[in-house]
Structure 1
Amino acid sequence: MDDFSKLAKLFLEGNEDDAIHYLSQMGPTPNRLHLYEQFLTPTMYHIGALWERNEISVADEHLATAVCDFVLSQLDSMEKRKVEKNASKALLFGIEEEQHYLGLKMVASTFREYGWDVRYLGPNLPLDHALTQVNRYKPDVIGVSAALSYRLPVLKDVIEHLARLEWSPTVLIGGRMAKEYDLRSFASDRVLIVKDLHQLEAWIEGNEEDINATS
């Protein structure tokens, strides 16, 4: 049994403590990005595939999601950089009718680990409500998550609105749609397609180097 199948079994059993213990054995201070990409993400994809094949019920999938959410919260409570007064700001949300949110929480955790001030709005957020928060918070980066291909027109509308914001924030598009579909037509000097957390981390580190070089 591969590593993510073992973790999936613990998630489907609702076994939070053993799941945390299992991940803690990956090293004395496990790298969160490694845990997200090598364990949690493939585990939840595996569980999703089980559900699609009717090998588990909706209730099983919901239980596994809840356990994964708990694990993410525990990992996010690990030591991270202090948020400075003038820290860069990121605002993250999933588009309307998108219920997937675990990947978005991993993105929020990654930004926090680098000392960003993060506002996580969760999934299934209508554009008008998202824009209210965006205009109030005025983030440097807006992260948008989408998974389902039939929501592509909604994603296009969201990007067009965000690209017109007067202070020119960077818009990052992620989620399963970014991994499985060619979204290059949406990309621009202000809109980036981010396929995984390694790419996100590389972008954050490059952005910090640019800031330090000009300060």
Structure 2
Amino acid sequence: MHKHPEKIAEFLLAGDEQGTITYITDYLEANKQLSLYEDFLTPAMYIIGKRWEKNEISVADEHLATATCDFVISMMENHNNDASNPLHTKVMLFAVEEEEHYIGLKMAANVFKENGWEVRYLGPNLPLEHAIAAVNTWQPNVIGLSAALSYRLPKLTETVQRLSLVDNKPFIVLGGRMADKFPIPNELATQVFSMNNLHALQNWLNVMEKGGRFIDARSG
């Protein structure tokens, strides 16, 4: 079995964009975006994150790896997307205020795009008041939130509570390393839920369109 994540982590830490793309292309089947994210890039970035936490690499190393990963995602994005959007579904994605990690969020945005959704990706560190204003203006069906670090949990809690009160009552999907640690209040159990990987997100999207209706996947 190939040790893909370890090898990809080496390429990313070296800032080797072309080496990363060449290696992935040698092993990745055509148009397997979920495999690209889940089998190669996400576990490689987790390895890099662990090394940073252990002070084995510097902040500069981590930033270089992230920038390289971002470039690879953009270069390997599937631009031949013919998916229709008969339900006119819209999703807005961003990381909570002060959260700078965004790679997983960008991958999720691409998954939504591949499923034909209209996407607004607002990136990392979006101040809450600006997020609420954007949601009220555009009125997405789904809001995708990301928080990677434990000390972002208070801000994630505040963000979820405030966004749950906007007029159009969007579904709120939580991702990132803190998603599974977020205690969803009982009163929000039909509006807020977590995704621990992109396969779960894809499965949810499949169910959301079940029967040609926009529904809560958890009831399906």
Whether the TM-score (by the shorter chain) exceeds 0.5 is yes
Q: How far did 1:30 drift? A: 4.3
Q: How far did 1:166 drift? A: 1.8
One-letter code aligned to 2:113: R
- With the length of structure 1 as denominator, give the TM-score of the two structures: 0.91
Query: What is the CA–CA distance in structure 2 between the aligned matches of 1:70 and 1:165, rounded to whole Å?
Result: 35
State the partner residue of 2:218.
none
Alignment: residue pair count: 213
Is 161-170 or 119-128 further displaced after alignment? 161-170
Q: 1:182 to 1:160 in 2, by over 3 A?
A: closer
Within the alignment, does 1:183 sit opposite 2:183 as a pair? yes
Within the alignment, does 1:168 sit opposite 2:169 as a pair? yes
Q: Describe the superposition over 1:135-194 as per-residue Cα deviations: whole angstroms up to 9, x where unpaired.
A: 111101001111122222211111111111222211111111014x25344751111111
State the partner residue of 1:51.
52
One-letter code aligned to 1:39: F
Partner SS, residue 166 of structure 1: coil
One-letter code aligned to 1:183: P
One-letter code aligned to 1:189: T
State the partner residue of 2:130.
129
Partner SS, residue 111 of structure 2: helix
Q: 1:155 to 1:212 in 2, by over 3 A?
A: closer
Query: What is the CA–CA distance in structure 2 between the aligned matches of 1:207 and 1:3, rounded to whole Å?
Result: 32
Query: What is the CA–CA distance in structure 2 between the aligned matches of 1:27 and 1:166, rounded to whole Å?
Result: 43
Within the alignment, does 1:18 sit opposite 2:19 as a pair? yes
Is 125-134 or 52-61 further displaced after alignment? 52-61
Query: What is the CA–CA distance in structure 2 between the aligned matches of 1:173 and 1:213, rounded to whole Å?
Result: 19
Query: What is the CA–CA distance in structure 2 between the aligned matches of 1:52 and 1:106, rounded to whole Å?
Result: 23
Q: Is the 8 A contact 2:28 2:35 kept in 1?
A: no
Q: Is the 8 A contact 1:83 1:117 kept in 2?
A: no
- Structure 2 unaligned segments of length 5 or more: list them: 216-220
Query: What is the CA–CA distance in structure 2 between the aligned matches of 1:104 and 1:111, rounded to whole Å?
Result: 11
Q: Is the 8 A contact 1:24 1:30 kept in 2?
A: no
Query: What is the CA–CA distance in structure 2 between the aligned matches of 1:97 and 1:108, rounded to whole Å?
Result: 20
Is 158-167 or 182-191 further displaced after alignment? 182-191
Partner SS, residue 176 of structure 1: coil
Q: How far did 1:85 drift? A: 7.8
**Coordinate RMSD, CA, aligned:** 2.0
